[in-house]
C-alpha cells in the first residue's frame, strides 16, 4: 500500500469517527443527517435533509471544507456562508491535519459551521 493510501485511510477513519459522534439519533436521520465526501483534494462535511418540494430527494447543505495545498503541506479551512459561497475561516484559515480541521468544526467557537 502506498503512502497516499495510508493517508487516505487515516482521513476516512478520522472522518468516520467524527460523523458517528455528531450524527443525530437514528430515528430522525430520515429528516436530518450529517455526512462527508472526499472531492479531489477536499474534504466536505454537509447536512442531508429531504427537499421541501420533493421529500423523496435529499438536499445537501455544506457545512465545512478543508482543501489540501500540496505545495505548503497544509489544509485551507472554509465555511459556507449564507451567500452559498465558500469563505476562508479567518479565525484559523489553515490546519496541518484532518483532526485539527475536525476539532475546529466540532468546537465551532464562532458559530460559522453549525450556526
Helix 98-107 with 3-22: angle, nearest 10 deg: 20
Better pLDDT: 2 or 15 = 15
Is this model's pTM higher than 0.75 or not? yes
Q: Does residue 36 carry a pLDDT above 90?
A: yes
Please say if the pLDDT value at position 10 is more than 90: no
pLDDT(7) > 90: no
Confidence check: pLDDT of 6 > 90: no
* Nearest one of 40, 32, 34 to 11, comparing CA atoms: 40
Q: Are 68 and 75 in contact (CB under 8 A)?
A: yes
Tell me: pLDDT of 84 over 70.
Answer: yes
Backbone angles phi, psi at 102, to 5 degrees: -60, -40
Please provide residue 105's backbone torsions phi and psi, each rounded to the nearest 5 degrees. -65, -45
Report pLDDT for 1: 44
Q: What is the mean pLDDT of residues 35-57?
A: 94
Amino acid at each position: 500500500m502506498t503512502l497516499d493510501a495510508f493517508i487516505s485511510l487515516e482521513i476516512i477513519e478520522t472522518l468516520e469517527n467524527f460523523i458517528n459522534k455528531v450524527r443525530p439519533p437514528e430515528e430522525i436521520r430520515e429528516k436530518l443527517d450529517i455526512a462527508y465526501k472526499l472531492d479531489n483534494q477536499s474534504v466536505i462535511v454537509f447536512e442531508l435533509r429531504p427537499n421541501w418540494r420533493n421529500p423523496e430527494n435529499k438536499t445537501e447543505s455544506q457545512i465545512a471544507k478543508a482543501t489540501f495545498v500540496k505545495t505548503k503541506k497544509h489544509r485551507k479551512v472554509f465555511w459556507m456562508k449564507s451567500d452559498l459561497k465558500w469563505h476562508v475561516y479567518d479565525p484559523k484559515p489553515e490546519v496541518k491535519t484532518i483532526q485539527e480541521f475536525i476539532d475546529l468544526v466540532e468546537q465551532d467557537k464562532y458559530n460559522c459551521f453549525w450556526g
